Amino acid sequence: MNTPPRVMLLIDADNVSADVIEQAVERTMTEHGAIHVRRAYCNAETAMKQQGLFKRLSVRPMVNLSAGKNSTDIALAVDAMDLAVAERPDIAVLVSSDSDFAPLVIRLREKGCRVCGIGQQGKTGDDTVAIYDSFIDLQHHQAPKAAVAKTAAKRAPRRVKAVAPRAAPPAPVLPEEVIRILDAVAELGMGNKVELNVAAERLRAAKLLGKSASSPKLFKKHPELFLLTPEKTPNKVQYVGPVPS
């Protein structure tokens, strides 16, 4: 009996549209039957904007808090190599139209992965397509013209009555426990990976963790905000939620 291939889907969410992300997940599921790892790499603004999409597609957002050029691409590449070693995937699907991932594709192939690419039509160059074992360009579907016109009409200012400006949406409110964790382990709030034993010492000193209690269990209470790596036997934790105010 043939076992299905292990598939990891890594999405450069700052590079492709939400519509293309949804199509990519559906296409990968149809072709391979299952996706064992689903992660999207993006900045905090994109993570907040697309949180409903990520939740619906069971995609884990990997929030990059660094502001440097290509920092999100670097985070994706580093994580991809960690996963290639820890999870031993048969197929790696990279969703991006960026040509900068050529070195990553080569290294994943050397690790025994078949590397497939999915890009957004109109953004992908021929040099990007050529580096993958297979590549699909998906078309971004614009909203229907009638819906766009209706939305534009709603937003148009009225001549007979002034429209008051809308207040900015409130910043996301973090649970009190999470705020106390970030206060106790300051490096987490800066987006750094912290050794679990170091985090445990800080949490016990702040009376957030019992003497014999498990720190991974505490972090797993907030899976959308804390990432434990590697997945099977974690020894590090990283905060991936919105920047605390």
Alpha carbon 28 to chain centroid distance? 17
For the record, the structure tokens of 126 come out as 């021929």
| Six-digit token string for 82 | 């960690």
* Average pLDDT of span 150-160: 55
pLDDT given for residue 148 in this prediction? 46
Q: Which pLDDT tens digit goes with each residue over 192-218?
A: 889 999 989 999 998 888 888 888 888
**Tokens standing for 39?**
């992660």
* Mean per-residue pLDDT over the chain, rounded: 86
What does the pLDDT read at residue 62? 95
Output the six-digit token pair for 213: 């209690």
Task: Inform me whether the pLDDT recorded for 8 exceeds 90.
Answer: yes
How high is the pLDDT of residue 244?
A: 67
Q: Which residue has the higher pLDDT, 188 or 95?
A: 95
User: Which residue in the block uniquely carries the two structure tokens 């498990």?
Assistant: 214
For residue range 121-140, list pLDDT tens digits in order. Answer: 988 888 888 899 999 999 98
Each residue's pLDDT tens digit, 48-59: 999 999 999 999
Average pLDDT over residues 50-76: 90
Of the candidates 60, 48, 62, 50, the residue with the CA atom closest to the CA atom of residue 172: 48
Q: Which of 26-30, 35-39, 56-60, 129-133 has the lowest mean pLDDT?
A: 129-133
Task: Tell me the C-alpha to C-alpha distance, in Å, between residue 93 and each of 39, 61, 177, 194, 200.
Answer: 11, 16, 36, 28, 35
